[in-house]
C-alpha cells in the first residue's frame, strides 16, 4: 500500500541547483541596472546574445552527448555563465565577442569536461580569458561612462554597432571609449606620476574607484550580501578574497602611497566585488572544504592584486580565479578536515 523501500532521509531542503542559480541571477539585477544606466544598452545586448549562444551550445552539446535536455537546460547554470561572461566584456562589443565567448565557455570549458559539475575551470572566466588573449583590441576597448560622453548610444544604435559595427555619423568610436580607471592609473603611475595626481586630473576616477563602475560595484555588493543572507553562498570565499586583496593593497599603499592605490580603490574598482561574490564562489570550480575555501579566496585576492599591479593586464580577477582553479585539487588534498574521533590524543 505504500511506496516500497525508499531510503532515508525522507525530507530535503528546498534549495535545488536551479534555485541557487536563479537566486544568483536575481542578485545580479541591481548591478546590471546601474551598469546599463552608466554604460549603455550594450550591456543588455551582450547579455542577450550571450544567453542565446550559451543555451544553444548547451543544448547541442547535451544532444551530442546523449544527455537529457530538460533538467540541464533548466538548471540555470548555462545562463549564469553567460551573464557573468557578458558582464566581463566591454559594453560596446561586436556581436561575435559574447557569442564566441559563450561557445568557448560552454563547449570547450564545460561540456567537453563532462558538463555541469565536472569542469575544473570557471567557464565564464576561461571564456573571457581566451577572448582577451585572442582579441586584445576588442576586449580592451572600454566604454566611457555616460556622464563623460556628449552623446551616448540608444538601444537601436547600440544594436547597430554590435551587429554591423556601424555608428551614427556624428559619433566616433574614440568619443565613446576611455581607458578604465585601473588601466589609466597603471599607465600614468608607470610614467612616474603620483597616484593622487593621476586621480585628481582625470574625470574617469570617482570617489572610490572608477566613475560609474564604483556604483555598479556597490550594487553588486548589495546583491552579494543578499546571497549571503539567503545562504546561497557562504561567507568564506568573498571575505577571504576581499580581505586578502585589501591587505595586499594596504601593505603597498602604506609603504608608498604615491605609487600604489589605496585598498578601497582596489576593492571598489574593476571586477573585485563581482568576482568575490559571484565568480570565485562558483561552487563547481572551488575547493570543497571550508578551510580550502578560505585559502581559495585568499589566493584569488592576492593574485588579483599581483596581476593588477605588476602583470600585463589591467584587471586580474579572471586570471586569478583561473590560477586558483588549478590549485583546487592540491588545496582540497591539504585541507581535509579532521574527522570526528580521529587524532584526539585518546586518553583512557
Partner 1 sequence: MNRPLHDFPGGLRLPGHKHISTSQAILRAVLPKRLYLPLHQHIGEPSETLVAPGDHVLKGQMIAKATDYVGAPVHASSSGTVVDVTLLPVPHASGLDAPTIVIETDGEDRWVDRTPITDYAQLDLSDLRNRIRCAGLVGLGGAAFPSFIKMNPGPHHRVRTLVLNGAECEPYITCDDMLMREQPQAILRGAQIMMHALQADECLVGIEDDKPQAIAAMSAAAAAFGAIEVVPVPTRYPAGGERQLIQVLTGKEVPSDGLPPDIGVVCQNVATAAALQRAIDAGEPLISRVVTVSGGGVRTPRNLEVLIGTPMHELIEQCGGYHNAAQRLVMGGPMMGFSLESDSVPVIKATNCVLSLAADELDVGHATLPCIRCGRCAEVCPASLLPQQLYWHAQAKEFDTVQSYNLFDCIECGLCSYVCPSHIPLVQYYRFAKTEIWAQERNKRKADIARQRTEFRAFRLARDKQERAARHAAKRAALKDAGAGGTRQAAIEAARERAEQKRMEQTAELNAARDAKIAEVKHAIAAQTERQEAAPTSKTVDAVTSSSNRETPDNQ
Stretch that binds partner 1, among 14-22, 98-106, 156-164, 199-207 (CB under 8 A): 14-22
Residue 17 binds to partner 1 (criterion: CB under 8 A): yes
What character string, x for contact with partner 1 (CB under 8 A) and - otherwise, covers 74-103? -x-x--------------------------
| Burial of residue 72, with CB atoms counted within 10 A of its CB: 0-12 exposed, 13-18 middle, 19 or more buried | buried
66, 192, 310, 340: which one contacts partner 1 (CB under 8 A)? Answer: 340
Count Cβ atoms below 10 Å from residue 44 Cβ, excluding itself: 17
CB 24 within 8 A of CB 213: no
Q: How far apart are CA 278 and CA 160, in angstroms?
A: 30
Letters for 228-257 (x = contact with partner 1 by CB under 8 A, - = none) are ------x-----------------------
Binding piece for partner 1, criterion CB under 8 A, among 17-25, 41-49, 138-146, 147-155 = 17-25
Q: How far is the CB of 53 from partner 1 (least distance, A)?
A: 22
Q: Which part of the chain contacts partner 1 (CB under 8 A), choosing from 41-49, 58-66, 113-121, 167-175?
A: 113-121
Q: Which is nearer to partner 1, 36 or 294 (CB)?
A: 294
Say whether residue 22 binds partner 1 (CB under 8 A). Answer: no
CB of 269 to partner 1, least distance (A): 29
In contact, 298 and 291? CB cutoff 8 Å: no
Residue 117 lies near partner 1 (rule: CB under 8 A): yes
Q: Is 326 in the site for partner 1 (CB under 8 A)?
A: no
Say whether residue 348 binds partner 1 (CB under 8 A).
yes
Interacting residues toward partner 1 by CB under 8 A: 1-13, 15-17, 19-20, 71-72, 75, 77, 114-118, 234, 283-290, 293, 336-342, 344, 346-348
Amino acid at each position: 500500500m505504500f511506496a516500497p523501500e525508499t531510503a532515508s532521509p525522507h525530507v530535503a531542503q528546498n534549495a535545488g541547483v536551479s534555485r541557487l542559480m536563479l537566486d544568483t541571477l536575481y542578485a545580479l539585477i541591481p548591478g546590471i541596472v546601474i551598469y546599463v544606466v552608466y554604460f549603455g544598452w550594450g550591456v543588455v545586448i551582450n547579455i542577450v546574445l550571450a544567453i542565446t549562444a550559451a543555451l544553444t551550445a548547451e543544448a547541442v552539446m547535451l544532444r551530442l552527448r546523449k544527455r537529457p535536455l530538460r533538467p540541464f537546460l533548466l538548471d540555470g547554470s548555462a545562463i549564469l555563465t553567460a551573464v557573468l561572461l557578458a558582464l566581463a566584456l566591454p559594453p560596446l562589443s561586436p556581436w561575435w565577442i559574447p557569442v564566441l565567448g559563450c561557445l568557448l565557455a560552454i563547449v570547450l570549458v564545460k561540456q567537453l569536461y563532462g558538463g555541469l559539475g565536472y569542469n575544473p575551470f570557471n567557464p565564464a572566466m576561461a571564456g573571457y580569458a581566451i577572448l582577451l588573449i585572442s582579441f586584445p583590441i576588442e576586449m580592451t576597448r572600454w566604454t566611457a561612462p555616460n556622464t563623460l560622453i556628449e552623446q551616448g548610444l540608444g538601444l537601436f544604435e547600440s544594436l547597430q554597432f554590435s551587429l554591423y559595427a556601424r555608428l551614427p555619423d556624428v559619433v566616433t568610436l574614440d568619443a565613446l571609449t576611455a581607458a578604465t580607471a585601473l588601466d589609466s592609473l597603471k599607465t600614468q603611475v608607470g610614467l612616474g606620476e603620483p597616484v593622487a595626481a593621476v586621480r585628481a586630473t582625470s574625470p574617469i576616477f570617482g570617489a572610490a574607484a572608477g566613475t560609474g563602475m564604483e556604483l555598479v560595484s556597490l550594487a553588486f555588493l548589495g546583491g552579494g550580501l543578499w546571497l549571503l543572507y539567503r545562504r546561497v553562498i557562504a561567507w568564506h570565499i568573498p571575505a577571504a578574497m576581499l580581505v586578502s586583496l585589501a591587505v595586499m593593497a594596504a601593505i603597498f599603499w602604506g609603504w608608498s602611497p604615491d605609487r600604489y592605490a589605496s585598498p578601497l580603490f582596489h576593492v571598489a574598482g574593476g571586477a573585485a566585488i563581482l568576482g568575490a561574490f559571484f565568480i570565485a564562489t562558483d561552487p563547481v570550480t572551488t575547493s570543497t572544504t571550508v578551510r580550502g575555501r578560505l585559502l581559495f579566496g585568499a589566493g584569488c585576492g592576492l593574485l588579483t592584486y599581483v596581476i593588477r599591479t605588476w602583470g600585463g593586464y589591467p584587471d586580474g580577477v579572471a586570471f586569478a580565479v583561473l590560477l586558483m582553479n588549478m590549485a583546487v585539487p592540491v588545496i582540497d588534498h591539504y585541507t581535509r578536515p579532521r574527522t570526528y574521533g580521529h587524532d584526539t590524543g585518546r586518553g583512557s
